[in-house]
Structure 1
């Protein structure tokens, strides 16, 4: 059904178990495809070639060309009109280009776009983009067809030295995946090899994460008081009392808290797995939210976030608090690991401990358990964990 496309309509329309298509009433062939994790602008039209009266249908073009985060609706409609005009004239604007036109940047960009079309999580695609911009920029202009193995090893060695073994491996694996994607989708002779086949990666052993022991909690809480910003203090307390990932906790908004039901409703856009989550909240967490919200609304009255800050560009954004000198870097994932350890020490079952972290129940059990019905048990355990933290952190 055709509709009048607006930015608001696109933003408010959500995935409903299958792809939702918002077809533009003003430009036939232009629509927005809404999937579980992505919203993309697409064009759809039949490509005909030949002289009038003898035209032959070549193929049906149904192609995504940008995500809604990349360009505005107005720019997308203009771009779509250009594509549709070319198709009507018998030219395929999405036809695979020749060898010399493929450089590393274009190849990686096409791979990332393909992942978006596949419905991969936005965080995953954004991670690919960041790797490309930060670590592959030096080779963006090089020909993908001419890139050789010895160059790959030189780049890998340099990245390992400057940014670490894990980052170097991620960058090269992104390149390798891009080659694997693009090779079968280009004409014969365009890209005939993947220089990363058989590549020897660093494959560093994962480091054991830091976890605070119970005896550390009083000194950690004392050090927390040194932090003058009440919003940052509230953020670190929330991390410890909830076990949320840092990226999720930083995006908490004022209206997510439902005090009457003792829960916080987190939308999928703030979750690593892209799925909505209702987190049970204890009385301690509710009080932390209230105290922080009062300060937040006073300091940043127009911000929707519970933990806002001002970026280098002067814009208000969610807090970024990877490290705190006062806390001796006992923040972020350390708080999450400490929370899960305390849950075990307090007697919380492994199943409930994992669910409180936002993890899914593994295997066939997870398919047969209706998690929402466990909310009462999870709330009980959340309160138990908070009391356990209080007993060991605030004693004396």
Structure 2
């Protein structure tokens, strides 16, 4: 029986059916690596992850946590997070198995080695970039609930762009800032100015965090001395006159779910990554809101998107298409896809096919808020931007949501669709997408095409 992906909880695990032969894994959709091994008579919690040494993958290991009958899902999930944190640091959760995992002559760090490493860190040049990054990741990013995308961005900077510095003491970098300046110049030429600046901001943050515990480190941060590249905000927003052509481009995209994703991105101004992970249970049609539980900034920045009439119709269309095209994944994701995660994972399009997508649409939303008569303050709230000044702490966003912000959202949506004029009636492709009864007709046409294909194949 093939492995499956579900949200693991006590009820869903109880409903898992035993295979007739062998075993299969039910993998959790929230915590990567956490899963249940389902056998003919037993169900066992376990975690799986890549064990690394010196930045290289040594082995992929699976560690059992406990039987389902004696361990609750909440307890198992807590243990799984601890095990995965150990694995990410190159430590096997089961010390006895650590020596056998590497295979051959390449041995992993064992419990006997650890005191020596800690003594090294205590020396004046002890704390390395690797240790400082692990501490910053666990104590700052994870503990403060930063999103997986944010953590992955930091990890990419440290473990890929600074891979050769992982075992270099931070004091060595502080004593030789020219080395950091040279790396910034090198990254600017090879990777571009934005990535070069971003990687240095990561290094600066890791160093500042490490200095709290290691006061012997110089106060002058080595990443602060680089000549920062100028970063101009990308002016890629559309105006009202650009919208008819954009709608024509979206209308002929082959995937109906991708069409609705781009449209909802424009109508909501939401960041694409957060929208991709939206789930059916996040949608409340009674209150007319879509909850975003983990936007940029983590769970502390969770917010509700008020829904205009056009946004509700967009979501109804995508739900209908999703249940027809991806009946299993549609139970877990608003924008399902044939991907490892089960949801839409890539929203990029060829610029010749679709000129604007992703953050271009977020900029467009903010730009069109002005002709819609929406104030800058309300636009910031709708986009979940931080509110500057001391007054921010006195604003209760949810109190504005039920009436005021929804009116502002409707004004923006009406302005966008008002710019189309008679496009829906005039253009066949747009009418087949947004016209009356277009969605059920499209689904029926798809069913007929599938039946004809099966008949021809037979």
TM-score normalised by L of structure 2: 0.61
Q: Deviations over 1:110-166 (max 9, x none)?
A: 232231366262354332112113311233244444443332222212211111112
Q: In 2, are the aligned partners of 1:102 and 1:144 still within 8 Å (CA)?
A: yes
- Name 1:129's counterpart in structure 2: 155
**C-alpha separation in 2, matches of 1:299 and 1:277:** 29
**C-alpha separation in 1, matches of 2:212 and 2:296:** 34
Instruction: For residue 177 of structure 1, report the CA deviation from its aligned partner.
Output: 3.2
**C-alpha separation in 2, matches of 1:359 and 1:70:** 35
**C-alpha separation in 2, matches of 1:40 and 1:204:** 43
How many residue pairs are counted as aligned between the two chains?
329
**C-alpha separation in 2, matches of 1:247 and 1:285:** 18
Which aligned pairs between 1:37-186 and structure 2 lie closer than 5 A?
Answer: 66=82, 97-99=121-123, 102-116=127-141, 119=144, 121-122=146-147, 123-147=149-173, 148-183=176-211, 185-186=213-214
With over 3 angstroms needed to count, the CA separation of the structure-2 counterparts of 1:240 and 1:97, relative to structure 1, is same
Q: Does 1:383 align with 2:410?
A: yes
Q: In 2, are the aligned partners of 1:309 and 1:316 still within 8 Å (CA)?
A: yes
Q: 2:302 aligns with which of 269, 276, 283?
A: 276
Q: Which has the higher helix share?
A: 2
Q: Deviations over 1:249-304 (max 9, x none)?
A: 2212122222222221222x245453331221112111111111122233322321
**C-alpha separation in 2, matches of 1:193 and 1:362:** 29
**C-alpha separation in 1, matches of 2:237 and 2:254:** 25
**C-alpha separation in 1, matches of 2:387 and 2:220:** 38
Instruction: For residue 94 of structure 1, report the CA deviation from its aligned partner.
Output: 6.5
Q: 1:342 aligns with which of 368, 380, 391?
A: 368
- Name 1:4's counterpart in structure 2: none
With over 3 angstroms needed to count, the CA separation of the structure-2 counterparts of 1:195 and 1:256, relative to structure 1, is closer
- Name 1:49's counterpart in structure 2: none
Q: In 1, are the aligned partners of 2:180 and 2:223 still within 8 Å (CA)?
A: no
With over 3 angstroms needed to count, the CA separation of the structure-2 counterparts of 1:70 and 1:209, relative to structure 1, is farther
With over 3 angstroms needed to count, the CA separation of the structure-2 counterparts of 1:172 and 1:384, relative to structure 1, is closer
Q: More displaced, 338-347 or 367-376?
A: 367-376
Q: In 2, are the aligned partners of 1:224 and 1:326 still within 8 Å (CA)?
A: no
Q: Deviations over 1:325-345 (max 9, x none)?
A: 345441112111211222220
With over 3 angstroms needed to count, the CA separation of the structure-2 counterparts of 1:109 and 1:69, relative to structure 1, is closer
Q: 1:228 aligns with which of 233, 238, 254?
A: 254
RMSD: 3.8
Q: 2:265 aligns with which of 233, 236, 239?
A: 239
Instruction: For residue 209 of structure 1, report the CA deviation from its aligned partner.
Output: 2.4
Instruction: For residue 102 of structure 1, report the CA deviation from its aligned partner.
Output: 4.3
Instruction: For residue 96 of structure 1, report the CA deviation from its aligned partner.
Output: 6.8
**C-alpha separation in 2, matches of 1:76 and 1:278:** 40
Structure 2 unaligned runs (5+)? 1-7, 11-28, 31-65, 67-73, 99-110, 424-458
With over 3 angstroms needed to count, the CA separation of the structure-2 counterparts of 1:260 and 1:178, relative to structure 1, is closer
Which aligned pairs between 1:183-262 and structure 2 lie closer than 5 A?
Answer: 183=211, 185-186=213-214, 196=222, 199-262=225-288
